[in-house]
Structure formats: structure tokens, C-alpha cells
Amino acid sequence: MADQIDFIHTLTWEDLPQKVRTQTHLNLLDVLGVGVAGSQTQTSAIICTHAHEDFGGTIPLMFDGRTSSPLGFALAAGMTIDSVDGHDGFNPAKGHIAAPMIPAAIAAAHEVGASGKQLLEAIVVGYEIGARTSMAQHATAPDYHTSGSWGAVAAAAAVSRLMGLDRETTRHALGIAEYHGPRSQMMRCIDFPTMVKDGAGWGSMCGISAARLAAKGFTGAPAITVEDASEYWTDLGTRWYCLEQYYKPYPVCRWAQAPMEGTMALQKAHDVTADQIAKIEVHTFHESVRLAMKRPQSGDEAQYSTSFPTAVAAVHGTVRPEHLEGDALFDPEILRLSDAMDMQESDHANEHFPAKRLARVALVLKDGTRHEGDWNEPRWDHTNPPTPQDLSDKFHGLTEPVFGKDRARALETAIMGLAETGLAPLTDQLFTPIKA
């Protein structure tokens, strides 16, 4: 346990490998770009109103402008980011570290007057504590819980560092966060997709609450995943899991993206247009098959489907947020292909999950021709990561349609210059509402 607490409070930006420093900026760019897109969702509108009305405070809500408490900011920002399923993730966790952790860190950094470098250090702490906590929880808990459950511990670690808590107080903060983290049932939301999503907002709120409670003397230690799972902590400070995140080219569940890539690859290889396809056959792992919403009625249902976004990809050659909302959900050609998808569970794919998300696709054409692909994975895994330019292009693709090129460029500049220019340029962008 000593090593974990020491790591939380003694890590310095200057001592980090250059790759870690570079990637931390890029990870923040990725998650906040998704947050800009998420600010346009109904989920964000509802949760921001709730945070403003029911969490009194003076911190402006992200991209909204109304005020709330640091807890309300973390809750609303976590849910806003999570409302568009395009943020980075961690394969062994079957979930996402940044979405519950970064909002709490930003709220705490603003409240304590941290520098940009101090926020970045806390984010690195959050990734490294979150990765190991997630693996320990998945190995010891019987249910598959949402990211907010162990994400609360990651958030508490980041906030404890920013608040400068002492060793024993930090220990209690981690324990409170683990105990009260939202151990919500992930597969229930897969089977019945709604706005609750991956628990990111609740985990973020829980993490910052835990640190603030511990600072007042509230006790809660030990965090079992931290103190009683030593096998997951031996490489802390030497292996950097913030370099082992995956990124999403498309704003839908990662489990759906191998079928999407397989379909588009076969179309390109054989010059097949969507109207020529009679059926799409997909062999993949159990959890992807469970994403069974063929005719989603909302954006949340569309993001937690395999067949619908694969059909979108077949028709449009990509999937963007606007393809998953409103009238786009009722496009007859997309619904035809979604209905015609045959999903089959594969032992081979199951054996490799969660380290890999495998799928194999076959296209059956209306004239009887059959094109079969090989096993493939989603793009932008950490073993074949996106370039910085890829992530910048993704960021601009998500942000420019919402608030234009100039503000997108200003937000990117504030994020990438955070270590040198400080926190204010970033919070100036985050706290300014998108709509008057």
C-alpha cells in the first residue's frame, strides 16, 4: 500500500517518460472532444439542469455556463462525455478510465487553483491507479460492473493528489470511493440501453466526494482492490497504462467496431455498395452479440447496438454522431441491412475477449455472391495506435460542427499547451457555454 500512496503524491511531470507526457495531452484532447459532441445530447441537457438546480455552487458547468458545485460539475461532465460513446478505453477493464476520472480532476484543479502541469500529473495518476483497480475488481468481483465503479477510485486518487491530502487521508479517500462507487450492472445496460450508460458521471461524483469527505475526517479504508490485490500493483511506476488505451474512430460501443471494420473492408475490396448486400453475417464474441438492438429508437440504443452502426457503416462508409440521432434512426436502407444482419457467437472470439475484440464478417449479395473476410479487430488499439494527427482530426471532426473552427482550434491549443500555459486557457474554454 505504501507504494500506491507514494505514487499518488510523489509522481512528477518532469520524471515521466516523454511518451507518457505526450500521450496524456492527447488523451485529454480525445475525451474533451467527445465531451463537446456530448454537450448536444438530451442526456447532457437533463444532467446539466439537474446539477445546476440540485448541486449549488459557483463552478460553471462544462460547455453550459450555469453553475454548480465541484460534485455537480463532475457528475454532469462525466455523463456528458459518456453520452457519446467515443472516448478512450482500456481492454482489460472492458471500460473507460478517463470519462469518470478526468471531470473530477478538472473540478478539483479549478477549486484548488492548480497549475496545468499539476492537472496533467493528476490525470496520469488517475490512469495508472484506475487501470490497476479495474483489473483487480474484474478479477475479484462476480458481476461485470460499469466503469464508474472502479473509475470512482481513479477519480479519488487524482483528486487526493490535487487536494494535497496526507497519506492516511488518501487511504480513506480510496476506500470511500471503492465502497460507494456505482457497482451498476453493465450488461443490463447492454440489454436495455438507456441514459445510465457506463456509470461515468456517478463514478466521477463519487470519487471527488470521497476525497472531500476524507479531508473532513470521514473514514472508509481499506480499498480492497488497492490493498489486497498486490499482483496488480507490482509494476506501478514502471509500466504506463496510459499508453495502453484504445481509441475509437466511431462514437459507438467498441464491441461493435470490428464488425463495422470488417464490413467496410469487404465492400472496399470487392467494390460492393450497400444496396447490393442481402445479408451481413458476423461471427464474434458473446458481448458483441448481446448488442442486439436492430431498430434503435434513441441515440443511446443506437450506440449500444452492433447491427445498426454496422449498417450505417455499410451505407455511409463511416459512422458519425449525426447518423445515430433523430430521423437518421429511421433510414429505410439502414434498417433493412440492420434487420438482415446474422450475429453468431464464436468460441474463438470469446477466448480472446477482453484482450481482443475479434469479428469475422461475410457479405451475401442479392445475386448470391458471397464474400468472406478474415478475423479482424477494431482500429486504434494500443498495439496499432492512432497518430497524433489522427486524434487531432477526430477532435476537429467532433468539435467543429458544434462550435466552429476557431473555438475548436482554441480548445486544442489550450489542451496541448496545458503544461506551459497553465489551467486558465483550458477552463476559459470549458466554462464558456456553447449556446448563448
pTM of the full structure: 0.96
Q: Residue 366 belongs to what domain range?
A: 254-372
Please indicate, yes or no, whether residues 208 and 94 belong to a single structural domain of this protein: yes
Cβ of 238: how many Cβ atoms within 10 Å?
A: 6
Distances 315 to 260, 274, 294, 333, 347 between C-alpha atoms, Å: 11, 5, 15, 8, 29
pLDDT at 365: 98
Q: Which CATH number characterizes residue 350's domain?
A: 3.30.1330.120
Residue 89 has φ and ψ, to the nearest 5°, of -150, 175
Q: Which residues contact 121 (CB under 8 A, 6 or more apart)?
A: 11, 12, 13, 161
Please indicate, yes or no, whether residues 14 and 33 belong to a single structural domain of this protein: yes
Secondary structure E strands in 74-216: none
Residue 406 inside a domain? The answer is: yes
Please indicate, yes or no, whether residues 300 and 336 belong to a single structural domain of this protein: yes
Please indicate, yes or no, whether residues 299 and 220 belong to a single structural domain of this protein: no
pLDDT at 142: 85
pLDDT at 292: 87
Residue 42 inside a domain? The answer is: yes
Please indicate, yes or no, whether residues 288 and 212 belong to a single structural domain of this protein: no
Q: How many domains does the chain have?
A: 2
Please indicate, yes or no, whether residues 229 and 332 belong to a single structural domain of this protein: no
Residue 383 inside a domain? The answer is: no
Which grid coordinates belong to 120?
496533467
Please indicate, yes or no, whether residues 48 and 175 belong to a single structural domain of this protein: yes
Cell numbers 461493435 correspond to 256
Candidates 321, 286, 322, 320; CA nearest to 306 is: 286
Residue 380 inside a domain? The answer is: no
Please indicate, yes or no, whether residues 235 and 270 belong to a single structural domain of this protein: no
The 10s digit of each residue's pLDDT in 37-50 is: 999 999 999 999 99
Residue 320 inside a domain? The answer is: yes
Residues 230, 235, 237: CA angle, nearest 5 degrees = 120
Rounded CA-CA distance 88/246 in Å is 6
Residue 281 inside a domain? The answer is: yes
Cβ-contact 203, 155 below 8 angstroms: yes
Please indicate, yes or no, whether residues 227 and 269 belong to a single structural domain of this protein: no
pLDDT at 1: 55
Please indicate, yes or no, whether residues 283 and 153 belong to a single structural domain of this protein: no
Residue 382 inside a domain? The answer is: no
pLDDT at 161: 98
pLDDT at 2: 59
Q: Which amino acid, one-letter code, is at 422?
A: G
The 10s digit of each residue's pLDDT in 192-217 is: 999 999 999 999 999 999 999 999 99
Q: Give exposure, 280-306, as e/b (b: 16+ Cβ within 10 Å).
A: bbbbbbebbbbbebbebebbbbbbbbb
Cβ-contact 137, 149 below 8 angstroms: yes
Dihedral sign (CA 126, 303, 246, 391): negative
Please indicate, yes or no, whether residues 19 and 142 belong to a single structural domain of this protein: yes
Q: Which CATH number characterizes residue 222's domain?
A: 1.10.4100.10
Residue 10 inside a domain? The answer is: yes
Please indicate, yes or no, whether residues 242 and 267 belong to a single structural domain of this protein: no
Q: Which residues contact 276 (CB under 8 A, 6 or more apart)?
A: 365, 366, 367
Candidates 189, 184, 71, 170; CA nearest to 122 is: 170
Mean pLDDT by 10 residues, the chain (436 residues): 88 97 98 98 97 97 97 98 97 96 98 98 98 96 93 98 98 98 92 94 98 98 95 96 98 96 98 98 96 94 96 97 96 97 96 96 97 97 96 98 97 98 98 85
- Alpha helices per DSSP H over 164-274: 167-180, 186-191, 200-215, 224-227, 257-270
